[in-house]
Structure 1
């Protein structure tokens, strides 16, 4: 009897992280945040443009009602376009107030919210977007770090359901050691102000699984990891104007080979996570609305089922616009998507 009692109390004291191989090397707080991500959605085409509302998508009660069906919301934000062009990168107060309103509303509904730094085109060597101002090359990285200083200070009193993603899809000039060094600088600045905030690392090569496999884990127990999965790419990005050369349209989904490809990507995410004891979630997956609607539903259903099988949280890209599942003009879900995403 005495032995049974000892075993019972030992189990009670057993760390939740020890029971989860993907959380062995992170804090209980990081593991808890990760496990509560669940089913997420990206609030794209709202704050990730150089001009608010540029694509016609604005935050509205109808859009909010749609995203509240999810457990978590990732908010892509083009901070660089709403900051002064000098090294201080002072954030525009009106823009930040508008962002705060959305962040606070979602947190009040008990959603996990990820703030992700998007589309700092000049730092990756890309073509500037409409409305984006060129800045002195000498202050590019300092602006980046100073923006994170301001964000860390602004939100330091918020609870753990607010999460920072240092940069979305690093690529181009922001690759290899250049990206890792800049990530480390941004993380260090955040830690000076907010030592325990959960922060997300995405590897170079557009936050791909290959990029993560080529990376060493970050030496910080409050960092979790993200991967973006758009395979099969010929299906998900068919006809996309920003992909060169433009991929042909009319590609359907999902045959055996396509399903096997999706499974391979998710398996590799799970394998890396368990190998290094660090949790990884899918920050983006989705398909363009040029694709056949029936195939889009099949792809989404397949991806969600495989992610559930491997117990990996995910965020669909995106709620509205070109990869969307919700028609912001009619304020209605596109047929079938709500069922496959939220069943």
Structure 2
């Protein structure tokens, strides 16, 4: 009984620290795509935010190629301030997520220093307009788990010197893997939100996406699994992980499998008394609309059942949900 009371007290304290708990949110993408050479225009971003508001979204994650924008767009910081002021005036939760960090074991100290300098430049520019802002310090870090765990405290300390109270979002290595996160000991740091990305089963969510290679070349995969509706395995997928994933899809392509995986990371968060969000989940437009709807509604419900706010990837793009008009808020 005493342990239960202590756990409830700890979770209540966490809730007070993060009074703005988001409803299900959306990723507003485009500014992370360095290959498109983006320019940050506040009018265009605010117009998109207004569209999201009309659809009922009150929480937005904004992926940013921070280093690229800081060094190629002289107006970036000024334009970002305008966007932040707008979201503050509208009580919109806004996550700024750093995408082009290029963290790697090679020249790690220099790359961490650049990351710190860029975040500090943004924070000093915003100059206190941070009541609704969260920073996702590094999107999908690709360091060894031990290296990443050792890097974070100094990174957070440098941010705290500029903005002591701003909530920070951190995930595990291996593309913000929930499995890596479940094996990780939380940092001894305050005002941290832990995140994971969910694209399981990969065979379904990334079917037909060229950038993931032959393993996902099989298209027409339904959700949930239905034997009579399954396509033939693509010849290109033979001998790859996609062949194994195809074989196992009867077990993984359903809500029970979702509940199992999300339940594990939810239990980890409760055990360690930390706040947990899912800042990315989604399905490629290569899947048929009905299956996409089934998947997103199932996952949304599972996240809600565990009290985990989720942010769909994405509004417009290869995973865009704009045309689906799903009731996920």
| TM-score, reference length from structure 1 | 0.77
Cα 1:181–1:92, aligned 2, differ >3 Å: closer, same or farther?
farther
User: Secondary structure of the equivalent of 2:210?
Assistant: coil
How large is the RMSD of aligned CA atoms in angstroms?
Answer: 2.7
Asked whether 1:41 is paired with 2:26, we answer yes
User: Secondary structure of the equivalent of 1:339?
Assistant: coil
Alignment of 1:303-322 (within 5 A): 303-322=299-318
Distance across 1 between alignment mates of 2:23 and 2:49 = 20
Of residues 212-221 and 179-188 in structure 1, the stretch that sits farther from structure 2 once superposed is 179-188
User: Secondary structure of the equivalent of 1:160?
Assistant: coil
Give unpaired runs (5+ residues) of structure 1. Answer: 1-15, 85-90, 127-135, 327-333
Q: Is the 8 A contact 2:70 2:77 kept in 1?
A: no
Determine which structure has the larger helix proportion and give its number: 2
Question: Which residue pairs with 1:277 in the alignment?
Answer: 273
Question: Which residue pairs with 1:287 in the alignment?
Answer: 283
Offset from partner CA, 1:287-334 (integer Å, 9 cap, x none): 0001111100111111111111112111000011110012xxxxxxx1
Cα 1:62–1:192, aligned 2, differ >3 Å: closer, same or farther?
closer
Distance across 2 between alignment mates of 1:19 and 1:310 = 15
Question: Which residue pairs with 2:75 in the alignment?
Answer: 94
Task: Tell me the CA shift for residue 48 of structure 1.
Answer: 4.3
Distance across 1 between alignment mates of 2:308 and 2:90 = 23
Asked whether 1:104 is paired with 2:100, we answer no
Give unpaired runs (5+ residues) of structure 2. Answer: 226-249
Offset from partner CA, 1:125-164 (integer Å, 9 cap, x none): 89xxxxxxxxx88732221111122123223512432111
Question: Which residue pairs with 1:249 in the alignment?
Answer: 219
Offset from partner CA, 1:89-148 (integer Å, 9 cap, x none): xx854122233322222222101111110133x43489xxxxxxxxx8873222111112
Question: Which residue pairs with 1:153 in the alignment?
Answer: 124
Question: Which residue pairs with 2:98 in the alignment?
Answer: 117
In structure 2, which of residues 41, 64, 69 is the aligned counterpart of residue 82 of structure 1? 69
Distance across 1 between alignment mates of 2:201 and 2:161 = 41
Q: Is the 8 A contact 1:300 1:340 kept in 2?
A: no
Distance across 2 between alignment mates of 1:37 and 1:107 = 14
The total of aligned residue pairs comes to 293
| TM-score, reference length from structure 2 | 0.80
